[in-house]
Structure 1
Amino acid sequence: MKENGVDNPAFEPPSPEEQRAAPGLSRPSPGEEPRREELCGWGRCAPRGLQLCNNAKGYLLFYSLLSVFQGIIVNGLINVSISTIEKRYELNSSLTGLISASYDIAFCVLCLFISFYGEKGHKPRWLAVGSFLIGLGSLVFSLPHFTSGVYKYGEKLDDTCPATNGQFYNASCTPGSQSSLSNYLYVFILGQLILGAGGTPLYTLGTAFIDDSVPKHKASAYIGIGYSMSLLGPAVGYVLGGQLLKIYVDFNHHVRTDITPEDPRWVGAWWVAFVVCGFCTWLLVAPFSYFPRHLPGTQKIKAEKISEAHHDGKEHKDTSDFPRTLWSLLINPVLMCLVTAAAVEALVATGFATFLPKFIENQFGFSSSYSATLGGVVLIPGAALGQIISGTLVSKLKLDCKNIIKFIVTTCSIALALNSVFLFAKCGNEPFAGVSETYNGTGTLSNLTAPCNENCRCLRSVYLPVCGTDEVQYFSPCYAGCSSVSNQKSGKVYSNCSCIVNPKSTFDNITNGAITGKCASKCTVLPAFLFFFFLTVVFTFMAVTPTTVAILRCVPDTHRSFAMGVHMLFLRILGTIPGPILFGVAIDNSCTLWSVDKCGKTGACWIYNNHLMAYTLMGISATCKVIAIAFTITAFVLYKPPPVQTSASQKTIETETSVQL
């Protein structure tokens, strides 16, 4: 049908059966059966039982399941296992960083093409391909375990005074030498590239399909639920991966071992969850393949929607040309402002997701595992709650594009105010011999060696912190001058420590001694920090779902999937890729004591300046939020809604009524 001589793409002429069932109307009645091409199944095979899921809620169920498994693998298991993989396959942190970045590299390369060409294709079947690739990538990532043989570890010697000449793994210093195990780096990168290719349709075509299939006022609630499920995945991945790391890596070979998970040489069963999740993800291939190109009622929903695309006074024509379509989106100022704001916010979110456990560990003196648990308790529920709340509010209030952008500015401003939590929730450093204070007035500051331990030949390459009875922390029992060790119920207790001369307490009746582990922090602001940081996370993520909805609204209907591709591309280039790098550099700048390996090469940081770390992270976060707010306000000012219009279905009814009259 044509209106004013122009084809109306949102209107499909009714079939003769539809005209007989509802004369005078151009759309199916609410109780009408879906057409054959809208049935769930393969070709003519469309069992009635499958039609129970042939709706937006059924699609959301499988979309959420795929989001969960993708999150478990990519953002959960890999993050948990990366340090274990370093140890098992003798990789350094720069190489494992390349493994982590490979996912985003594949995503950036493919997202524009998949979102552009997938818009014209069968979106659910694109997700079926994505499910297959995610499962395949997970299995490829686990492949090194099955081809690298049984893990072998060397002898570990206690670091007491005088130190023995032994090292971990009985390894000698041979700079430049590299084990053949490090060649598995390329297998891990291949697995990540496949995972990146599989994840691309999920957050581009999958999100656009939801927006196409539900009424405009419900889209934000559906997208919010789907996004919140994507955050459930990392939580499950951290818990599942953490528990499996307590099982020995080669348990399937029935290998006997005399080391425990507390031993630095321990390698856990990192590979098990990758295999299980890979096969589970493959179970989603069939359901996505069965969904039709469009859910029943989609044509009616599209016909009733009124476009809110940014109107700059120019007439935009639909084109199938990739460069022209991309250019039309890049010159859309509202879209690019929203995309940039979202990318800057993502930079902060991914930075804290990576380093919040490290911040808690150093500020409040907890173990790395407990700090990771606290970080997960704050980040995952806060992010999920923020997205669900914002999606529900936008849906219930039926906000248009202009008011959605105003909503984003409000939530970001509140998050900026809450960012001041770093000003009062920081803690100073506990006394550390040779770092923050001298050895009882002997030696020099920032020097671990003092007269009390200079004859111990201590190893700087092994960090085994102990807390002395003088309530001062030492780098290792050797640097505390301890010459004896005994195993007690509370753990190892060191005695005869020459550097501990003013004891304030005792350990098992030992005065000049030390106990394994860091000294307990005297900082008491942790509960306040976790509470206010939780609120900061909630309000930060309250902007995520509305931003996605606004991006889908401010572009023409036929460009929505491609707009999501542009959004995800910038999100990674400006956000998730540089975010951890920027935060890592900032945290490294607050380091006061670096590790030195057996070859004299500087490695990881052992001790940080807590005040400097807190101020640095607050400065980065506040700056990024101010930039995000500025771009969002610019989008609000520049946005111009299209001229007042009626929906396609209303136009059709009005036209047919005038013809009948």
Structure 2
Amino acid sequence: MAEDRKKETLETSETLPFIEKPFVISEKLKDSAEDGTGRGEESEDTSCGFWIFRGPFMQRFATEKMYVILYGLAGCVMTMTFAYFNATITTLEKRYKIPTKTSGIISVGNDISTMLTAALLGYYAGNGHRPRWMGIVSRLGLLTIVAFCLLTSSLHFLYGPGEDALKLTKEFGQVNETLARQERDKKLCQTSAGGCIQEVGQWVPQVFLFVAQLISGVGQALFYTLGIAYMDDNATKSKTPAMLSMSTFLRMLGPAIGYSLAALCLRLYIEPTLEPLIGREDPRWMGAWWLGWLVLAAMMLIAAFLLFMFPRELPSSRKRRLQLKQYERRQSLPIKERSFSDMMKTVRRLSKNKVYVYNTSASILYFFGYMAYWIFTPKYIETQYRQSAAMATMAAGTVALGFSAAGVLISGYVISKYRPSARSMACWNAIVDFVTVAGILCYVAIGCEGSDRLNSLSTLSTGNSCSASCHCDYVLYAPVCSPDNITYISACHAGCTERTKDALGRTIYTGCQCMDSSSLFSGTESQFAVDGTCPVDCFNEFLVFLAVMCFLKLVGASSKSTNLLIALRCMSPEDKTFALGLGSMAASLLGFIPSPIFFGWLIDNYCLVWGKTCSNKGNCWLYDTKSLRYALNLTAASFIFMGGFLNISVWYHAKNLKIFDEEDQPKGNSNNKEVELKTMDSKSQEK
């Protein structure tokens, strides 16, 4: 009888996966032994600090809340760097004569490296000891961002502020009056064609910037792909929305601070020790773009040090890991046994998950359309509403992103309190897309008539045969204003032959023969121009645009948590990290990479005045603002509109998707019972 009973027990254990076999008991005893005799290794993995910074006092910080704070702060500094780069793009274009399309290519360098590394890291590292990989992130991932900051700022120390910026300073004329006089004479009407503008090594800064972006993408992939999954693994499902919202909120403070730092640095001249002869509102103004990178590098080092202090594994999750250790050994292949064919099987399994596919596709379309505003909003404000680079940066960053942070916090509170279903979340995502489209259509109507008129008159004034006879092709952009409020690209384009100073110290150009064809006045008394662009007041329109933009930021940010929760819950736990990496790769390949290049090309198509050099056409100084406003906004709105319909598809297929745990879960009398329930639940999910 005893033998029969023993045989029956063994046979039953073969068919019921939740009943442990004899070797499982021995393994559990082995784990218990490790917990006792081998406790030193586990203690190091769950204790804060390192070297002399480790102690009993530090261990109180090894909690979920502290991880969220440290992870959020590190992400805050990381997003500061990307926001700072976007805020200084227009200055970099002026300094190194980069077309908008090329700056778009440079800005996607980090997305290219993210695309190449995110999915592989998610697959090979995600099923390993994720906390250990987070330790690598703190050492290498964030340190690559430090390298990114230092490499970008090194351009200024290698190439200096540039001749264009130096010629606009008081010290330039004091050091060499002859060169200053020759430079001023170049702006006047010439009897013979002048030489082209030489730019030695112009392509090298562009390569520097692109390589720096590539390096930053590796750290970004390590940080986000493993960090979010690690956070979700170390918290119950009910706590995940609040933790995601808090970490996202802290990260979203980064762009606001980054844009504020850029606004502060751009108020200083590119060479702070020199006195500029122009004001910040002058389109030729170049701020100290390089200064903020040094500050960001120091802050990133501090963030890396703090994250390095965090334990490799939370003590609260260690008990669960030991309980599920045998189950994970059965279900997961060791990292060394993983192969490319296994990864492709996972890809095919995810491709059949309709919620995952539609949710990812909707996000890609949204990203593609909205990337134009994430990167080029400061440029848009400068060209459309005639605001300085510092003001445009402050509006696009500090003010607008404050509403984004509020949207994330509000959505996190609502989700945690009311626990909406997956369908409700997908429905809200679709509503957000359509509201965003409506707001972008408002952008089309919010134009500045004075700015549109100024640009059209400037183009007409440069296209006449009179200015062509003055050989102004390679004259630098130095706008002058005529008595009838028409801006000319330079005194040469206005046909001016003489230069004087008035009682107020302003530069006055006289003998401007090319004004006769367009001037409302007649006679030689009208043939003069004042240095600088004609005044245009677009501030009221700018405030209306800012109000609409802040509203869209508030609404758009409220869908971040809902979108991510659907992505985390629509797949089995073992596929979660790889699915996040695969989604990041797809978003980079189809959204983040092509979108800046496409919209950069679109913006360049509406350029009216290029800064010509011997090698290429350089950067753009003047745009057809009205045509650009229609083309940019309508194109972006069309992509987001299509994404809204895909979110409707998510709503349709997410009817059985479970976002939260049940309120009252059955509790067993032992840890083995808890393992059994989780095993059965995982088996049912696989089927």
Q: TM-score, normalised by structure 1?
A: 0.78
- Aligned pairs for 1:143-158 within 5 A: 143-145=154-156, 155=179, 157-158=183-184
Q: Are the aligned partners of 2:195 and 2:474 in contact in 1 as well (CA < 8 Å)?
A: no
Q: Is 1:117 equivalent to 2:124 in the alignment?
A: yes
Q: Are the aligned partners of 2:481 and 2:533 in contact in 1 as well (CA < 8 Å)?
A: yes
- Aligned pairs for 1:307-456 within 5 A: 321-428=342-449, 430=451, 436=456, 446=460, 448-450=462-464, 456=470
Q: Are the aligned partners of 1:163 and 1:456 in contact in 2 as well (CA < 8 Å)?
A: yes
Partners of 1:60 and 1:70 in 2: how far apart?
A: 15
SS at match of 2:311: coil
Partners of 2:157 and 2:444 in 1: how far apart?
A: 49
Instruction: Tell me the CA shift for residue 378 of structure 1.
Output: 5.0
> How many correspondences in the alignment?
609
Q: Are the aligned partners of 2:270 and 2:287 in contact in 1 as well (CA < 8 Å)?
A: yes
Q: Are the aligned partners of 2:87 and 2:378 in contact in 1 as well (CA < 8 Å)?
A: no
Structure 1 residues 261 and 226 mapped into 2: Cα distance closer, same or farther (>3 Å)?
farther
Residue in 1 aligned with 2:174? Answer: none
Q: Tell me, which stretches of 5 or more residues in structure 2 are unaligned?
A: 1-12, 33-41, 168-178, 324-329, 677-687
Residue in 1 aligned with 2:78? Answer: 70
Aligned-pair identity (%): 23
Residue in 2 aligned with 1:313? Answer: none
Partners of 1:607 and 1:210 in 2: how far apart?
A: 48
Structure 1 residues 421 and 97 mapped into 2: Cα distance closer, same or farther (>3 Å)?
closer
Structure 1 residues 545 and 466 mapped into 2: Cα distance closer, same or farther (>3 Å)?
farther
Partners of 2:69 and 2:259 in 1: how far apart?
A: 23
- The structure showing larger relative contact order (alpha-carbon pairs under 8 Å, at least 6 residues apart) is 2
AA in 1 matched with 2:440: N
Instruction: Tell me the CA shift for residue 517 of structure 1.
Output: 1.9
- Aligned pairs for 1:212-231 within 5 A: 212-231=233-252
Q: Is 1:620 equivalent to 2:635 in the alignment?
A: yes
Alignment counterpart, residue 576 of structure 1, candidates 592, 602, 605: 592
Q: Are the aligned partners of 2:474 and 2:612 in contact in 1 as well (CA < 8 Å)?
A: yes
Structure 1 residues 340 and 140 mapped into 2: Cα distance closer, same or farther (>3 Å)?
same
Structure 1 residues 257 and 339 mapped into 2: Cα distance closer, same or farther (>3 Å)?
same
Residue in 2 aligned with 1:5? Answer: 16
Partners of 2:71 and 2:64 in 1: how far apart?
A: 10
Structure 1 residues 65 and 559 mapped into 2: Cα distance closer, same or farther (>3 Å)?
same
Deviations 1:476-496 (A, max 9, x none): 233334433426658545455
Q: Is 1:585 equivalent to 2:601 in the alignment?
A: yes
Instruction: Tell me the CA shift for residue 7 of structure 1.
Output: 5.0
Structure 1 residues 85 and 126 mapped into 2: Cα distance closer, same or farther (>3 Å)?
same
Partners of 2:499 and 2:344 in 1: how far apart?
A: 72
Partners of 1:590 and 1:266 in 2: how far apart?
A: 22
Alignment counterpart, residue 484 of structure 1, candidates 492, 499, 508: 499
AA in 1 matched with 2:405: A
Q: Which moved more, 1:191-200 or 1:488-497?
A: 488-497
Deviations 1:159-200 (A, max 9, x none): 787435899xxx9438xx863474455444443222111111
AA in 2 matched with 1:212: D
Structure 1 residues 587 and 187 mapped into 2: Cα distance closer, same or farther (>3 Å)?
closer
Residue in 2 aligned with 1:163? Answer: 189
- Aligned pairs for 1:238-257 within 5 A: 238-245=259-266
Residue in 2 aligned with 1:559? Answer: 575
SS at match of 2:108: helix
Instruction: Tell me the CA shift for residue 335 of structure 1.
Output: 0.8
Instruction: Tell me the CA shift for residue 551 of structure 1.
Output: 0.4
Q: Are the aligned partners of 2:260 and 2:397 in contact in 1 as well (CA < 8 Å)?
A: no
Alignment counterpart, residue 470 of structure 1, candidates 474, 481, 484: 484
Q: Are the aligned partners of 1:90 and 1:182 in contact in 2 as well (CA < 8 Å)?
A: no
Q: Which moved more, 1:409-418 or 1:638-647?
A: 638-647
SS at match of 1:297: helix
Tell me how large the CA RMSD over aligned residues is.
4.5
Q: Are the aligned partners of 1:503 and 1:511 in contact in 2 as well (CA < 8 Å)?
A: no
Alignment counterpart, residue 139 of structure 1, candidates 123, 137, 150: 150
Residue in 1 aligned with 2:626? Answer: 611
Partners of 1:598 and 1:563 in 2: how far apart?
A: 47
Partners of 2:426 and 2:71 in 1: how far apart?
A: 26
Structure 1 residues 642 and 3 mapped into 2: Cα distance closer, same or farther (>3 Å)?
farther
AA in 2 matched with 1:478: C
Q: Which moved more, 1:407-416 or 1:149-158?
A: 149-158
Instruction: Tell me the CA shift for residue 229 of structure 1.
Output: 2.7
AA in 2 matched with 1:480: A
Alignment counterpart, residue 291 of structure 1, candidates 287, 296, 310: 310
Residue in 1 aligned with 2:109? Answer: 102
AA in 1 matched with 2:598: L
Q: Is 1:49 equivalent to 2:57 in the alignment?
A: yes
Partners of 2:489 and 2:475 in 1: how far apart?
A: 11
Structure 1 residues 246 and 427 mapped into 2: Cα distance closer, same or farther (>3 Å)?
closer
Instruction: Tell me the CA shift for residue 111 of structure 1.
Output: 0.5
Instruction: Tell me the CA shift for residue 89 of structure 1.
Output: 6.1
Q: Which moved more, 1:610-619 or 1:340-349?
A: 610-619
Residue in 1 aligned with 2:200? Answer: 179
Deviations 1:269-322 (A, max 9, x none): 544433343243233334333433432333688999xxxxxxxxxxx9766533
Instruction: Tell me the CA shift for residue 116 of structure 1.
Output: 1.9
Residue in 2 aligned with 1:31? Answer: none
Q: Are the aligned partners of 2:385 and 2:451 in contact in 1 as well (CA < 8 Å)?
A: no
Q: Is 1:58 equivalent to 2:84 in the alignment?
A: no
Residue in 2 aligned with 1:23? Answer: none
